[in-house]
Amino acid sequence: MVNGIIGKKLGMTQIFAPDGTVTPVTVIKAGPCVVVQTKTTSTDGYEAVQLGFVEEKAPRHVNKPMKGHFEKAGVPPTRILRELRLDGGTGSVSVGDKILVDQFSENDIVDIIGTSKGRGFAGFVKRHGFGGGRATHGSMFHRAPGSIGASAYPSRVIKGTRMAGHMGVERKTIRNLKIVRVNSEENLLLIKGAVPGPTGAYVLIRKKESD
């Protein structure tokens, strides 16, 4: 059983309950996906499946190695591939099987894995939440980092010191998000709260196992 699916973030909206309560939700087009490859302990050392995200427009150009990969599986080429680890083995999953959004239901709890938005080169305050210096009495120390190390010992900047630099474009996992609504006809999931990435980003939705 594949307890996950690839999705495409369409944006955010709100859902209004009958009592007037407003719930912010992220709309995700989840699937349909197809199983491109299965991995087993005997051949690969672990249990997993490789899913391909089927879109309305198939990729126009596929390089020769990937073309052979899809032809071996007997499935049409897909632009997005993601691997999903399995705990219960791949015995019930075969190459070519379709993975649909109907495996989810309302109030299910999921983890969503994606890539955060890119923020470019960011300073200390934006990147790490530094408080900054005083902004009055002629201070010239508004958004500066302060000391980044000692001069006598160890006479260098310690590795990992929080400084200005590139921010975003990192793999993020948001855990324990609740599914508010499932639309099987249009392959849509409405998930409470925000998920990583900009509109149009691809994410991996992984269902939490019930205790």
- The residues, any chain, with a CB within 8 Å of residue 89's CB and separated by 6 or more, are 40, 47
How many residues belong to the chain? Answer: 211
Which sign, positive or negative, has the C-alpha torsion 99, 105, 110, 116? positive
Q: What are phi and psi of 108, to 5 degrees?
A: -65, 150
pLDDT tens profile 110-156: 999 999 999 999 998 999 998 888 889 988 888 888 888 888 888 89
- Residue 133's pLDDT is 86
Residues 57-102 have pLDDT tens digits of 888 888 899 889 888 888 888 898 998 888 765 557 888 888 888 8
Domain segments of the chain: what residues? 4-119+171-207, 120-168
Report, at the CATH architecture level, how domain 4-119+171-207 is classified.
Answer: Beta Barrel (2.40)
CA 96 to chain CA mean position, Å = 24
Mean pLDDT on 28-43: 88
Label residue 147 exposed, middle or buried (CB < 10 Å: 0-12, 13-18, 19+). exposed
